[in-house]
């Protein structure tokens, strides 16, 4: 399934801003997250909603970048926050 937001993504893969973990958690001096997500618009790395701070969703709410992908090794699924769909 797809949505209009996927078509608006950059053609090339974006580089991860903080490839070693959640950008906000690392800034707080924390390394407690469950899974990581990468914003496909800008490369922001945030922690998932099962993590204490839910920084990936907070990033979407703050900057309105609608599609993220799992940043876990071997996972390629993407999520559209606007349409609430795996895309």
DSSP 35-86: -EEEETTT--EEE-TTSSS-HHHHHHHHH---EEEE-STT---EEETTTTEE
Query: What domains lie within the chain, and their CATH numbers?
Result: 4-86 (3.30.40.10)
Q: What is the pLDDT of residues 65-82, one digit of tens each?
A: 999 999 999 999 999 999
Q: Are strands 45-47 and 67-70 parallel, antiparallel or unpaired?
A: unpaired
Band (pLDDT 50/70/90 cuts) for residue 11 is confident
| pTM across the whole model | 0.93
Are the C-beta atoms of residues 65 and 59 closer than 8 Å to each other? yes
- Whole-angstrom distance, CA of residue 82 vs CA of residue 11: 20
Are the C-beta atoms of residues 55 and 22 closer than 8 Å to each other? yes
């Amino acid at each position: 399934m797809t949505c209009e937001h996927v078509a608006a993504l950059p053609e090339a893969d974006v580089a991860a801003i903080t490839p070693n973990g959640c950008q906000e958690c690392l800034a707080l001096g924390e390394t407690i997250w469950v899974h990581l997500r990468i914003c496909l618009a800008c490369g922001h790395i945030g922690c998932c909603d099962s993590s204490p701070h839910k920084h990936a969703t907070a990033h979407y709410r703050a900057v309105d970048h609608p599609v993220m992908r799992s940043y876990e090794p071997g996972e390629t699924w993407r999520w559209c926050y606007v349409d609430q769909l795996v895309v």
